[in-house]
Amino acid sequence: FFVEWGFQEHSSNQQLQAMQKIAEKYDFKIGVNWCDAWLFYDWITKYRPEVVTREDKLHAFEGEVQYLIDQVFNTTTGPTYDGHPIIYLFGGGPTPQEFEPIKDSSYLIPEGLKEPWFFRRAPIGGSQSTTGEVNYKYENTDWHKVKLEKPLVEGPFGWMPPRVRDASTEQYSKWDKYATSEDVVSYLDTLTKAINNESAQIKLRNSVVVPGMDNRGCAGWGTNFTFIPRENGKTYEDMWNFNVEHQEDIDVVYIASWNDYTEGHQIEPTMEDGYREIATTQKYAAQFKEEVPNEEETLQLPEELFHLRKKYNFLKKVGIQEDTLIPIQEKLNEIGQNISTQNFDIAKQGLQEVQEELTSLRSHIQKTSITFNLQTEGVKVQTSSNENVALNKPITTNSNNENAFYLVDGVDTDTSIWQGIGEDEYRIEIDLEDMYNLVRAEVISGTADETGMLTNFTLQYLDQGEWKDIPGGLIEENPTQNLDIKFSNSVTTQKVRVLCQDKGEGIVIREIKLFSNQFPQIDLKSPKKDETLLPDTPLKMIAHAFDRDGNIEKVEFYINERLVEEPVMYDSETEEYSVVIQGFDLGEHRIIAKAYDNQGAFTKSQEIQIRADLPLVNIAYKKPIVASSEMGDSPAIYAVDGEICDDLRWRTNVKDAEHWLEIDLMQVEEICGVEFITGYSNGGWAVKNMKLQAWDGEQWVDIPGLSVQENKKTQVNLLTEQPVQTNKVRFYSNDGTRGLRVREIKVLAYNKKPMVELVKPIEKSELGLGESLTIQVKAMDTDGEITKIELYEGEKLLDKEAIFDEALDQYTFTIEGVLQGSYQYTVKAYDNAGLWSKSSTLVVTVKGEEDSNISDSNEDENEGTEKNQDENSASSTVGQKEKIWIDNPNMVIKKVPQEAQKEYLKNTGKGTKEKVQRIPLDPLVDLQWKENKIKEPTLITLPIDQKKKDIDKEKVGIFYYKKDDDKWIYVGGILNEQKDSIIFTAVEPGIYAMMENQVYFEDLQQHWAQREIEVMASKEMVLGRDDGFLYPDQEITRAEFFALLARLVNIEPLRYTGEFQDIRGDEWYADVIQALVEEGVLLGNGQKEMKPNDRITREEMAVFITRMYQREKEISHIPFSLEIAEDSDQISDWAKEAVSFVSKQGFMTGFPSGHFEPKGHGTRAQAIVTMKRIYDRIH
């Protein structure tokens, strides 16, 4: 570890000395990153008046070097390399010319040490090209090049990568400059090449990692706000990955992270990120040092020790005798030392012993119960244990501000009061300095003789920059001095204010108290971080949740920010909540849980990332091989026999310079990776250079990523990002004439699902009453074996055993005496890797005696359907009980065959920038006009399957398959009044599908308008920005509002004609505005301006909505009322009629205060909710 250090008298030296004691105690090294510029400020003159000039400071610099040699490096905790003290210089102190004599000075070097090595920050600058690319360049300064006969410093060290991207986009508007995760890796690439330049004579190659950066916490060093996004830990992992991959080119990885939290690069645990960066450090540091981490113990044990120290401190504060506690403190220190030296078993035993001792001591604490006599005057019974979080917090008022602190000083007397002076309205604002979930307040007003009491006031809270009334916080005609206000709903905020409407100078307030509800606690226990699951495997998610001052009302689980809708179960003994889901899609998934308490507060758990992936299998096992050579007692067949032991290994001829082993896979396979197990189990004779090659039909080609050079490990696992298809592979090594020892070569491919199909009957079967049903099934696995066969009736697993017939190579199920009715059967086959496949569905009909002779007339009915259509019938069954209504006798409708549906549906989300999941609900239909008939728009009604209970019907729409682009186009669809059908207009012949259109925005979760926005997005009336975010709380511009209007009533864009001075024509909104002008919805401002990028006011919104609604509903007269809002006098004359209309229609509602706020600006979320109300009214 390194302390950011200045000089001996600086406070950083006190930190260094304190850390040296800890380092000695826990056996680690502590050094300095010398901010040498600090020595050249005027700071040192305060401590050493004789040090004034730059020459004085240069002389003092030499003294500081000697101080570091003596007091830091000549200790058991000083960081050295081969005896050389390592001193990192941050820069800004001596110039290269000034530093040369400092370095060459004759320092007193203690025995066992050598001359110090100096390293200075790497001089890497960056620039952004006009095309947006970032380039880093290593500047060969006087510090970092050969000067005279030797380098001035021993080398550079990596630091925070330069942030050079212009932060002009909305996503980064809070900063001046930023860098991406790709940029920081590019920085490392530049640094690594520089430190491996042989001419630079670098003694120690220092690289760097950083988790991210956000220096707004320290005011951006005055003016410059810069940013490196963490990207959910990806930035940190990418930098570590680079260093591990370039391990041979790097000696030291420097973690540029210091824990003052003002620059946003801490790796310590936080509420937002949990232990993620600590775990990443542990994982990759072990890889870099070629060690095996013990995650459970090295992270868990220190945390347990921390909690025991807290319990120890509690006992110390409540008066347990010190001589009783001293031995426990010594044990705690000893446990810390054992953890530091990795004596984990001893540490675990010590933790258990201390836990028992502390529990025993705590049980002896005397508890006192106090009973209050409710009849006793002057005794106030506190009915809530909530904490007064307003106590001694910053407070401001618009009157008599110098005495405002009396309002929150905790003193309730006439000598500690605040009195309002001469304002029509008094505003008192309290900054709680943190977020609290507030549940009640106490306001104590008036003097002892009950004069000056508050009578009319409102409590408000700050929510995302907007002051809102606290539910239950409006007080009128207050009758009491000590007013206890219980909020009807809790609020979460950092700031609260009191608005007092009592006028005059007689207002007296003695105290304002605010009481908070503690947030619930929740910890996601399962699954484990980075766990890999099979995609079809059920997953049980478990969270432990509790509430210290109430109870848990509900727990929710989210996967990729989408709510898991399966029922959540609760175990009262463990206080654990769980939910089971049936499998995942392939890929990465993010899981969190949320706990809500009885006051409405909620807390998110840590985020857990898991992966659903197919298992890898060894496809080289016992396959035919051909080898370059082999020794008699160590044949090549041992390399693919599945046995991993020293005796069964393939040895090659020592005379050969090249060695190879060809493996015939016997069919085309997709190669994903390889595992080389070479040498001996004791670590000797590892093959240094080897690779796996694929046969392309003409020659052997290297498989990307499946090669290793200068290897020292006997077991190497490699995966390729570019899987290769081939029927033959080759192990190749050019290790020369020492011969190879290869214990096993595993060629890895993703396990294929087993195959299962019905043999007899195949699709449908009819039985007479009481007959037995026999189902024959064929199942096979190309890369393993079948381990289990199951029979299902619907979703129910039947207790039936499959009988295997080796001669026929098939399985048979028999069901005796099936009752009358209709049944659907499927068969599941499982392989040895746990993957399964399901057969097609077998429909079995068992007829009773009276209907056993009825013939199958489906074909006749189908023929009759087309005939009926020719006779102007308005419906078609298409094999469903519900009718599909077609308002055009010249159109025919056909069901798309099952095998063709999969091809059409493979790209349901293609062409979207938002997160979209389109769920097909019914069979695809093919709409065609009859030959020689006039083609015209046709109204069609498709039924919604009422058996599917989990359909979000408001998000159901109709999509048209555009063949040329191979994607689905949303065409609309209106939900009928009974909500059992979708009505739409077909304009083009072709393939149509009904789908539930789920659209997600990452910045919308738990937003108050989430439901309305997602519904409108499903109808493609709401679009996100180019980055896929919605930004719901941003104020909406006029152009954005116009686009919403146009999409709401399906007004198609028209080519812009150049009417307005502030629109060029190439803007995204130009053609939309032209169309709205043509429709009479937009008029301009009389100055040939449209002001598209201005924020739209609420009264402007009302006018445009009214014009649009008049057009859509063909309304000519709008009823008008002046009594529409408390602030009617603020509404412009040209907008009053429209504001009256939208208010009475309920399209735009006012605020709880009764005001409309016509000049205020609406947010994107508010505008979309308004459009949702209008949409519901129109349809």
Based on the domain organization, do 681 and 703 belong to the same domain? yes
CA separation, residue 540 to residues 543, 832, 921, 1128 (Å): 10, 22, 27, 57
Question: Can the peptide bond before residue 1092 be classed as cis, meaning omega within 30 degrees of 0?
Answer: no
Q: Are 1000 and 1127 in contact (CB under 8 A)?
A: no
Q: Which residue numbers in the chain have pLDDT < 50?
A: 146-148, 369-371, 376-385, 849-882, 910-911, 913
Closest CA to 578 of 544, 612, 548: 544
Q: Is 709 helix (H, G, I), strand (E, B) or coil?
A: coil
- Give 544's strand partners: 523, 576
- Spatial neighbors of 877 by CB under 8 A, at least 6 apart, are 861, 865, 883, 884
Based on the domain organization, do 441 and 550 belong to the same domain? no
Determine the residue type at 550.
G
Determine the residue type at 767.
L
Based on the domain organization, do 238 and 130 belong to the same domain? yes
Range of the domain at 1028: 1010-1178
Buried b (16+ CB within 10 A) or exposed e, 997-1021: bbbbbeebeebebbebbbbbbbbbb
CB atoms within 10 A of CB 379: 9
CB atoms within 10 A of CB 866: 13
Q: Are 827 and 790 in contact (CB under 8 A)?
A: yes
pLDDT of residue 660: 94
Which CATH number fits the domain that encloses residue 883?
Answer: 2.60.220
Boundary residue ending a domain (517, 532, 561) = 517
pLDDT tens digits for 352-381? 899 888 877 776 665 554 445 555 444 433
pLDDT of residue 386: 58
Single pTM value for the model: 0.38
Based on the domain organization, do 739 and 701 belong to the same domain? yes
Q: Are 701 and 777 in contact (CB under 8 A)?
A: no
Which CATH number fits the domain that encloses residue 418?
Answer: 2.60.120.260
Q: Are 585 and 616 in contact (CB under 8 A)?
A: no
Tokens of 487: 């909020």
Boundary residue ending a domain (612, 647, 680) = 612
Based on the domain organization, do 819 and 764 belong to the same domain? yes
pLDDT of residue 765: 81
Q: Is 856 helix (H, G, I), strand (E, B) or coil?
A: coil
3-state secondary structure 114-141: CCCEEEEECCEEEEECCCCCEEEEECCC
Q: Is 843 helix (H, G, I), strand (E, B) or coil?
A: strand
Q: Are 1042 and 1101 in contact (CB under 8 A)?
A: no
Q: How far is it, in rounded angstroms, from Cα 66 to Cα 958?
A: 79
Q: How far is it, in rounded angstroms, from Cα 745 to Cα 627?
A: 13
CA separation, residue 1088 to residues 1056, 1084, 1120 (Å): 14, 6, 29
Q: Are 660 and 627 in contact (CB under 8 A)?
A: yes
- Give 997's strand partners: 918
Based on the domain organization, do 977 and 865 belong to the same domain? yes
Task: Name the domain count of the chain.
Answer: 9
CA separation, residue 147 to residues 101, 103, 154, 965 (Å): 13, 13, 12, 63
For the chain, the helix, strand and coil percentages under 3-state DSSP, each to the nearest 5? 25, 35, 45
Q: How far is it, in rounded angstroms, from Cα 926 to Cα 995?
A: 15
pLDDT of residue 692: 96
Boundary residue ending a domain (293, 317, 333) = 293
Based on the domain organization, do 117 and 131 belong to the same domain? no
Based on the domain organization, do 867 and 942 belong to the same domain? yes
Which CATH number fits the domain that encloses residue 814?
Answer: 2.60.40.10
Closest CA to 1051 of 1082, 1025, 1024, 1006: 1082
Residue 877: what are its φ and ψ, rounded to 5°?
-85, -35
Characterise 817 by phi-psi region: left (phi > 0), alpha (psi -120 to 50), beta (else).
left
Determine the angle formed by the axes of helices 181-195 and 234-245, rounding to 10 degrees. Answer: 20
Please return the burial class of 30, using the count of CB atoms within 10 Å of its CB with bins 0-12, 13-18 and 19+: buried
Q: Is 689 helix (H, G, I), strand (E, B) or coil?
A: coil
Tokens of 180: 């991406």
Closest CA to 594 of 558, 549, 542: 558
Closest CA to 835 of 583, 526, 620, 609: 583
Q: Is 521 helix (H, G, I), strand (E, B) or coil?
A: strand
pLDDT of residue 872: 37
CA separation, residue 439 to residues 23, 163, 596 (Å): 46, 44, 14
Tokens of 983: 């009505």
For residue 148, being part of any structural domain is answered with no
pLDDT of residue 858: 35
CB atoms within 10 A of CB 540: 11
Q: Is 277 helix (H, G, I), strand (E, B) or coil?
A: helix
Closest CA to 361 of 321, 332, 398, 416: 321
Element counts in the chain: helices (H) and strands (E): 18, 63
Based on the domain organization, do 866 and 984 belong to the same domain? yes
pLDDT tens digits for 1036-1059? 999 999 999 999 888 889 998 888
For residue 896, being part of any structural domain is answered with yes
For residue 930, being part of any structural domain is answered with yes
pLDDT of residue 1040: 92
For residue 373, being part of any structural domain is answered with no
For residue 480, being part of any structural domain is answered with yes
For residue 512, being part of any structural domain is answered with yes
Based on the domain organization, do 1072 and 1163 belong to the same domain? yes
Based on the domain organization, do 184 and 54 belong to the same domain? no
Based on the domain organization, do 604 and 632 belong to the same domain? no
For residue 368, being part of any structural domain is answered with no
For residue 586, being part of any structural domain is answered with yes
pLDDT tens digits for 194-226? 888 877 778 899 999 999 998 888 776 656 889
722, containing H or E segment: strand 715-733
CB atoms within 10 A of CB 632: 6
Longest C-alpha distance within the chain, in Å?
A: 118
Rounded to the nearest 5 degrees, what angle is found at the Cα of 1162, between the Cα atoms of 1156 and 1163? 145
Q: Which residue has the tokens 């917090």?
A: 393
3-state secondary structure 1122-1147: CCCCCCHHHCCHHHHHHHHHHHHHCC
Tokens of 1051: 């007004």
Q: Are 358 and 394 in contact (CB under 8 A)?
A: no
Characterise 541 by phi-psi region: left (phi > 0), alpha (psi -120 to 50), beta (else).
beta
